[in-house]
A = this chain, B = another copy of it.
Amino acid sequence: MQLIALKGLPLVKRGDDLGELITNARQKQGLRLEDGDVLVVAQSVVSKAEGNVVDLREVKPSPLAERIAVQLDKDPREVEVILRQSSEIVRLRHVLIARTKHGFVCANAGVDHSNVDPEHVTILPDDPDASADRIREAIKRKLGVDVAVILSDTQGRAFRRGCVGVAIGAAGMNPLQDLRGKRDLYGKELEVTMISPADALAAAAVSVMGEASEGTPVVVVKGASYDRNYGSARELVRPPEQDLFR
């Protein structure tokens, strides 16, 4: 399996056609896209292209946002955006862990002030699977190749320190793989019954992207093994009724 960062992608702005930016960049780089490749695209550039950017100067924080902002040592306007993106506040202590409207449980409901203009924040795409599919379809149209696309975000974990990449959107692949019925070296049923290839590829790709100013928000993965049947990245969300840690 090989991961190659796409170089030379311009700063993405509202209305940009990411499919076109990606095909142009890979051409300049002399990088060949092939059937079965997986494109991992950082949520931040998708949000920017789709206009999911909020100008904080137009946000009036509620008294609740003002109070939480003090507790979190954050801009109250940013907290207001976080609350508007949340369907449930799962934990509120020194960090705010929220459930987003998509069902994802993550810090700050996915609202991020990094890699966007000052006084602005990005919010998660409205429908990350659909965003991934638009990029997949654009690549298919322009280059005639069938790739899978993963939208990645960088998130913390409940019991482990340090963030890793996860998949918040997927197209052209099944983000969850069911191993039930598969056998181990000794013919016994496997202890692990379900794995997430999409999260594994997102983690790998985000580690190649980097988080800081030298970052490259698109990574091409070659030679990954995955199931090409469509599935939604929302299937990666543990349903609240199966959630042991609410």
Contacts and interface: CB of A to CB of B under 8 A. Distances in A.
Total copies of the chain = 2
A115 interface: yes
Contacts of A31: none
Interface string A110-133: 001111111000000000000000
Interface in A165-194: 165-166, 175-177, 179, 182-192, 194
B158 A199 contact: no
B245 A158 contact: yes
Nearest to A243: B159
What class of interface size applies to chain A in its complex with B?
35 or more
Given A157-B157, A200-B203, A244-B158, A208 B1 contact: yes
Counting from the closest, the 5 A-B pairs by CB-CB distance are A162-B196, A204-B204, A200-B207, A158-B158, A203-B203
28 contacts: A1-B2, A93-B244, A97-B244, A114-B189, A114-B192, A115-B184, A117-B186, A157-B238, A159-B237, A159-B243, A160-B236, A161-B196, A161-B237, A162-B176, A162-B195, A163-B195, A164-B195, A164-B199, A164-B200, A182-B213, A185-B215, A187-B213, A190-B211, A199-B203, A204-B204, A207-B225, A210-B225, A245-B245
